[in-house]
Each structure stands twice: as C-alpha cells, then as structure tokens.
Amino acid sequence: METITPELLRRFDVNGPRYTSYPTADRFVEAFTTNDYHQALIQRRDAPASMALPLSLYVHIPFCESLCYYCACNKIITKHHERGAEYLRYLSRELDLHTQVIGTGQAVTQLHLGGGSPTFLSDAELRELMAMLRRSFAIAPGAECSIEVDPRTVDATRLQNLADLGFNRLSFGVQDFDPEVQKAVHRIQPAEQVFALVEDARRIGFDSINVDLIYGLPKQTPESFARTLEQVRQLRPDRIALYGYAHLPERFKPQRRIISADLPTGGSKISMLSQALTAFLAADYVYVGMDHFALPNDALAIAKRQGRLHRNFQGYSTQPDCDLIGLGVSAIGKIGATYSQNAKTMEEYCDALDHGRLPVVRGLALSRDDLARRAVIMALMCQGQVVFESIELAWLLDFRNYFAAELEQLKSLQDQGLVTVDDTGIQVTASGWFFVRGVAMVFDKYLQADRNRAKFSRII
C-alpha cells in the first residue's frame, strides 16, 4: 500500500466509465430497435449447442418506499405496494414474449434481482416471480442467485424466505453507518439492525454477503468514515463494494436535495478512499478490482487468483462470458454481439407490452472494432493483463499496429509504474490495479474521440 499515495490518488481523480460493458451504455442508440433484439434472440436460439453462451438473468424491480437523496438508479418512490402485483403481470408478459422466441427451459447459471429495492415486493410476490422465472427457464443447480436487500425492509423471517426461494447471495445497501450522514441522505438504518441481519444471514447459510459503501456523501468526514470502516471491519462481510459518490444534480433530480456545502472536499474524499484501501487490505480483504473487495475464501477472490474473473452489467462476476436477458423497466441485456435496454419509464414499458412488443427502446450492434477493444478492456479490467498474441489470433489483427496510438499513450502510465509493456503484452502492476479504469480508458475509442467525461463518475 505504500505506493498508493494520496498524490497518486489525486492524479487519477478524473471522470471515467466503470466498464460494466464496452462500448458503454451512453453509446446505445435508438436506431437499435425491438426488431434487432428479436433477431439477436433468434440467432441465440438457432446457434449450435457447442457455441451457445451460458445465460444470465437480471430482473429490475424499480420500487422503493422512500427516496435516498444520493441515488442515481432508475426507481419509483411509492408506498402503494399493490403496484408490485401489477408489475409482476407485465414481467410475466415480457417473459412470455421471450419464450415465444427462444423456447422454455434454457439453462440459467446466474440470476440477479436489482432495483430500486427488490424487497419492496412481498414474500408472496417474490415467490410468484421466482415461479414465473422457473416456468420460463431452468435455473441450473449451483446457479448464483443474488438479490439486493434494503435492510429496512427485511427481518430474519424474510431472509429465511429468500433462502427458501433459492437465493444464495445477498447484497445489503449500507452506504454509511454514521447517523448524521444517514440523515443527510434520507436513509436511516441503525448499525445494530444491519449487524443483526448479517448474523441472521450467516446462520441461515447464504454463500456470500456483500455490503455496499459510499464515500463522498454529505456530512462525511475522514473521521466519521473511519468509524464506519471500523464497524465494517467488525461486521466482516464476504464482499465489500466501495463506491465514490458522483454528485450530478443536473442529471439526477433526487441529488438536488443534497446541500452542496455539506459535501466533503476533494481532498477529504481522497483521504477517505486511502483510509478504506488501508483498512480493508489490513483486514485481509483481497482487492478484486475497481471498488470491490472480498475475503480470500470468497468465490470472487478465488476467481481473481485463478484468472477466471469476468465482468458484466452487475460488476465483477465469477461466471464466464454469458448472454444476459434483462427484464423489467430500464433493464439492460446482452445477446451475442448486441446490447439492448428496455424503456426507462413505466408508461413506455407497459405500453410496449400492452401492444405485444418487447419493450426494448435502444441498444447497439457491436462492430468488429468494438469487439476487439472490448476484449482488450475486459482483459485489463478482469485479469490485469493483455497478451498480444491472444488478441491477434482472435481478431486477426496486428496488435502493435492496430493499437499504435494507445501503446504510445501507455508510456506515461508505464513511467508512473502503473503498467509494464513488452513485446508480448501489457501487464498492470500491483499499484496500477487500483487505477485499472484509467488504464482501460486508453483503449476506449469513443472516450478518446470526444473527451466528454463529465457524465461519468470519478474513476477512483
């Protein structure tokens, strides 16, 4: 950690994509239509079994009972829980439209429920949703089934019900344990409540428990965040996701309720990040990459050690490259060499389904250049290295000629000790791994072309 100085962190305190995909979602276009998505599904259906990618499902549940001021997710704030039942009816229609194309019973190796807050749904509604999914797909034995949990909406009984439904991984939204910070972001949840829930989840036997944290929130100070870090050390979740808060009130209306004067300075944010890196590594967490930490015996840390780490729209994953069907309002999917996104408003989403159409409103068909660059970026983000020969064989190109400009740009990062480049490939150094987004950005053709980074979060 001695090489990860505040000065180095400050140098890389710039905006950039998170690379849950390449090209990034801001490059999706409306010219990609429902028909294009339908064709991608047909191609998956008709592909030889030997070429079929594993299948992952993401279901977006947009509802929350109360508004968290920092939130940039697609959500609907309501206390009318009857809306959940109506939403399930539309999800059922969307599932039917998929199975009409690809048939029923395709094996699913990964399922994730996100939001919003999936635990806005009642236990009976979650049971109905899982039954719908199992009627349409075959959830494979040992599949990773994860769900995002708002600690304010569950107790031990609900956690047991989630396990009974087949969920084996939980992600608790904590953000910060400090009462003043929680009040400033309108998310009050006592630390004791989270500790009790994590203890219950361990007793029930969930395979992995993740905790989300955010630094840079209003009222946070290095001193207050140090107390939160100590509580997280005591809690000892299997995984930790640590995000820097991106204050973009012009894009995300809820953030306008945050008082700008309450936000920590850039220097304080850097200090908090440095504290977190030191604290988690000292507590024997493995830095998986880009905001994610895991205990050494967690599947994510094991995948990192074994070079099996992958990345998808939910972040780092132990699953190999797979197709992803996104279900629900605003959900993003990946089928073959295409990305797609559903309508972002409930009205538009429901209207499409009312007319018997899949609710895809934009997406992207990837070019050969996109695919080659995606391979490079994902190799950097997941394995921390690029072997020139593997890219050359896969994409029939001469790496040093094709990426001559990018290799020139890497020289400054090499001078800073973040990467090494030789005749065989690119290797991200131990210290460079903490800035891997900055390395990946060099190969982002779109970002290099427009340099418009204000729409992205900070890369550290």
201 vs 206: CA distance, rounded Å: 6
207 vs 164: CA distance, rounded Å: 13
Strand partners, 386: 426
210 vs 227: CA distance, rounded Å: 19
- Determine if residue 58 is labeled as part of a ligand binding site: yes
3-state secondary structure of 303: helix
The type of residue at 383 is Q
173 vs 247: CA distance, rounded Å: 18
The type of residue at 52 is A
- Determine if residue 332 is labeled as part of a ligand binding site: yes
Closest CA to 224 of 274, 259, 180, 188: 180
- Determine if residue 212 is labeled as part of a ligand binding site: yes
| Bridging pattern class, strands 137-149 and 169-175 | parallel
404 vs 406: CA distance, rounded Å: 5
User: What DSSP string runs through 263-303?
Assistant: SPPHHHHHHHHHHHHHHHHHTT-EEEETTEEE-TTSHHHHH
How many Cα atoms occupy the beta-carbon half-sphere of 28 within 13 Å? 23
User: What DSSP string runs through 426-440?
Assistant: EEE-TTGGGGHHHHH
3-state secondary structure of 302: helix
- Report in angstroms the alpha-carbon separations of 330 from 333, 341, 421: 10, 6, 40
66 vs 50: CA distance, rounded Å: 47
Evaluate whether 57 touches 111 at the Cβ level (below 8 Å). Answer: yes
314 vs 330: CA distance, rounded Å: 14
Q: Compute how many other C-beta atoms are within 10 angstroms of the C-beta atom of residue 151.
A: 21
3-state secondary structure of 58: strand
The CA-based angle 193-194-196, given to 5 degrees, is: 65
Query: Which residues are CB-contacts of 421 (< 8 A; sequence separation ≥ 6)?
Result: 407, 410, 411, 414, 427
- Determine if residue 187 is labeled as part of a ligand binding site: yes
The type of residue at 101 is V
- Determine if residue 175 is labeled as part of a ligand binding site: yes
- Determine if residue 115 is labeled as part of a ligand binding site: yes
The type of residue at 392 is E
Strand partners, 419: 428
- Determine if residue 72 is labeled as part of a ligand binding site: yes
Binding residues for S-adenosyl-L-methionine, as ranges, are 58, 70-72, 115, 148, 175, 187, 212, 246, 332
Binding residues, as ranges, are 58, 64, 68, 70-72, 115, 148, 175, 187, 212, 246, 332
Binding residues for [4Fe-4S] cluster, as ranges, are 64, 68, 71
